[in-house]
Amino acid sequence: MSLDAKLKPYAVMKDSGLPWLGAVPEHWDIARGKRLLKTVDERSKTGEQELLTVSSARGVIPRRHAAVTMFKAESYVGYKLCWPGDLVINSLWAWAGGLGVSKYHGIVSSAYGVYRPRDPSSTLPAYIDKLVRSSSFHWELKVRSKGIWTSRLQLTDEAFLDAPFPSPPASEQAAIVRFIDYVDRRIRRYIRAKRKLIKLLEEQRQAIIHQAVTGQIDVRTGKPYPAYKPSGIEWLGDVPEHWDVHRAKTMFAQSSLPVQSSDEMVTCFRDGQVTLRRNRRMDGYTEAIMELGYQGIRQGQLVLHSMDAFAGAVGVSDSDGKCSPEYVICDPKTNGIYVPYYGLLIRSLALWGLFVMLCPSVRERAPRIRFTLFGRVVLPKPPEREQAAIATHLAVIGRETDTAIARASCEIELLNEYRSRLIADVVTGKLDVREAAASLPDEPEDPESNDGLDEMLEIEMDQVTDQDDHDQEHDDD
């Protein structure tokens, strides 16, 4: 039986009068934030303390541990000081989870709000952290943040401290924190195991692809080919004896199609898919003011993203449309070319470091690929029927792997939803955890508790947090 199955509602409840909170245990208080917390505005005179930031995934963390650092101020003198137990809120991103109770002594941007319990013995910082970061309290943060655009909603001190807080007795707050920490550790372990499985599946798929497209394994038998010969290329090594090797420029020609008025935008993604942008997502792109040099792209063409090919942005277009001039688009120049095979081959070689090795970078780890460079690359050329057999076999492997990854991803999503719902129910008094918490064993902190389970979300939050810090500091000057 799962731990939450043993939990029961409180015996006696009362109406809180709040739509997002509903009924709460009869002995709980509902207090305005200003009764529980006070604003702290102490400034650093040296700027030499640990610089902290807010991650939506991990709360308050040292800036050096954040995934992204976009801006660095010349001086941190005048930044706000905070201590362990202080609640820190990025006022411009509270509605998106940019808040948490700090475990560190350090400094934060002047754009942040810092709050401290008036009486830490009756208002436990750890409970406040669970409450304000819960999905239930998110409603209060969003409606109290004001602004014209969503990306500029600001939560003022007055608005936050006027928010209502459910306030159980201190002993019960401690029980809630103990229970949530215990359950959260276990859920994170399950999620970590699923993430590791996904990573292993992806690595296994890429290893199979590389072995197949470079001739290390005959997909028809699952074994190496009977005989091999030197390719003459150090990074390629030996190839099956009946395969040829040619420079890419003898097999492919660069395409230069005009853009049609009806063409939609096609994007080459790092996972190898080349498709209409709307098939994946429409946000997060920088739109060109003028589409100078844009080119037409047609289904079945080989595509290399000139600046992202090194990271896997190589594939075969599944759509007609238009694309950036940064794309290298290729058509077969001779007979005996099965384009899907070469999409798999070139992408695999790119992920194994081919383009990083062959050309200089215009930015860190980002060599720019032009057709003149690509044309000099020596590629294996199996018989066309064999190319098709390899691509077909790998498509089956890919679908099977995608199914397994999708299943694991769905389980992760369900676990996250379960965690979010359970935390919300506990901090708002829908489930009584006092008895369960009392029976839990003492456990050390999980050393992998902050291992990047929500890495993408954390990166996005750190980017917008750093941007807002910079904007706020610039506005203050």
Q: Residues 401-440: pLDDT tens digits?
A: 999 999 999 999 999 999 999 999 999 999 999 999 999 9
Tell me the pLDDT of the chain averaged across its residues.
88
How far, in Å, CA of 303 to CA of 315, rounded?
Answer: 5
Is residue 372 within 8 A of residue 330, CB to CB? The reply is no
| Closest CA relative to residue 351, chosen from 193, 214, 192, 460 | 214
Gap between the terminal Cα atoms of the chain = 59
Domains of the chain: 3-192+410-476 (3.90.220.20), 244-283+300-381 (3.90.220.20)
Residue 457 has pLDDT above 60, yes or no: no
Mean pLDDT of 98-108: 95
3-state secondary structure of 232: coil
State residue 124 phi and psi, 5-degree precision.
Answer: -75, 125
DSSP 72-122: --S--TTPEEE-TT-EEEETTTGGGT-EEE-SS-EEE-TTEEEEEES-TTT
Which residue shows structure tokens 């959260």? 184
State the Cα–Cα distance between residues 364 and 95, nearest whole angstrom: 34
- Model confidence pLDDT, tens digit, residues 194-221: 999 999 999 999 999 999 999 999 999 9
* Amino acid 361: pLDDT: 56
Mean pLDDT of 221-236: 92
Task: Please indicate, yes or no, whether the overall pTM of this predicted structure exceeds 0.85.
Answer: no
Higher per-residue pLDDT: 153 or 267: 267
Of the two residues 409 and 5, the one the predictor is more confident about is 409
* pLDDT beyond 80 at 318: yes
Q: Which of 230-239, 277-286, 459-468 has the highest mean predicted lDDT (pLDDT)?
A: 230-239
Q: Which helix (H) or strand (E) holds 160?
A: helix 157-161
Q: What is the pLDDT of residue 320?
A: 95
How do residues 131-176 score in pLDDT, each as one tens digit? Answer: 999 999 999 999 999 987 766 789 999 999 999 999 999 999 999 9
What DSSP designation does 304 have?
A: E
Determine the pLDDT at residue 248: 96
Closest by alpha carbon to 324, among 292, 284, 285, 281? 292
**Greater model confidence, 1 or 316:** 316
- Average pLDDT of 302-306? 94
pLDDT of residue 471: 39
User: Tens digit of pLDDT for each residue in 29-71?
Assistant: 999 999 999 999 999 999 999 999 998 888 999 988 876 545 6
Q: Which residue has the higher pLDDT, 125 or 460?
A: 125
Q: Which helix (H) or strand (E) holds 459?
A: helix 455-476
* 453 pLDDT more than 60: no
How much is the pLDDT for 150? Answer: 65
